[in-house]
Structure 1
Amino acid sequence: MKKSQLLETIQDMPEEFSIDELMEKLLILQKIEEGQQQIRDGNFFSEEEAKLKLEKWLK
């Protein structure tokens, strides 16, 4: 995460917030970044592949 993203996130928070609320928001942003990087790297399943995996897990 870049410092600018952190500052923007803090600016978007209400005037008063808890550290837990900030941490939750930062973790969500980090997970989104990780997912976007996985897509750029080609590490993902197609919709059909995901459906097949879910079928196996849900049986």
Structure 2
Amino acid sequence: MNFEGILKSDPIVVAFTVDYNYAMPMAVTIKSLLFSLGVGRDVFIFVVDVGVSVAK
């Protein structure tokens, strides 16, 4: 893969499709991403909920 065209100022776009079983791993991934980024780096996070509920 060639990453030469990716700049550190480019936003990071992340998309998740999660159900109840993957809600916690997604949260850990997002937390890790946010803690690892430099200040001022834009992140767009999209989540498609296909079965996350509080009742479980």
Normalising by structure 1, what TM-score? Answer: 0.31
Larger relative contact order (Cα-Cα within 8 Å, sequence gap ≥ 6): 2
Give the structure with the larger strand fraction: 2
